[in-house]
Amino acid sequence: DGGITQSPKYLFRKEGQNVTLSCEQNLNHDAMYWYRQDPGQGLRLIYYSQIVNDFQKGDIAEGYSVSREKKESFPLTVTSAQKNPTAFYLCASSYRAKDTGELFFGEGSRLTVL
């Protein structure tokens, strides 16, 4: 079955540690996105990639990094520079770069900083 796989589902991190969240899709979608969801707030865009080997900052990119070396993969690293990393992280994809509204989401990764 086609879909988006995020791992891990739950992650605990000590302050000062970098962590990487995995996102893999087998939908053959061109574009991939990382969103962050906090209670009482809408989804906020961290990074997006419209094509392999290219990615752009979203609204809240500070403290995060990404790579897009393969069409199927778009990992997100939460660095120690991110001041408030505890959140629900959602990876999404769309068939074409212009289909930014028609998103397929992974199951999410919940990060907690201890």
List interacting residues with other proteins (CB under 8 A): 40-45, 48, 50, 56, 90, 98, 100-108
Q: Which two tokens stand for residue 96?
A: 């074409």
Q: Select 5 or 17, whichever has its Cβ closest to other proteins.
A: 5
Smallest distance from other proteins to CB 46, Å = 13
Smallest distance from other proteins to CB 82, Å = 20
Q: Select 71 or 104, whichever has its Cβ closest to other proteins.
A: 104
Q: Which two tokens stand for residue 40?
A: 């009482």
Q: Select 16 or 40, whichever has its Cβ closest to other proteins.
A: 40
Q: Which two tokens stand for residue 36?
A: 């962050």
Pairing of strands 10-13, 109-113: parallel
Q: Which two tokens stand for residue 92?
A: 């999404």
Burial of 4-18, coded b for 16+ CB within 10 Å and e otherwise, reads bebeeeebebeeeee
Q: Select 70 or 98, whichever has its Cβ closest to other proteins.
A: 98
Smallest distance from other proteins to CB 68, Å = 15
Smallest distance from other proteins to CB 63, Å = 20
Q: How far apart are CA 33 and CA 18, in angstroms?
A: 20
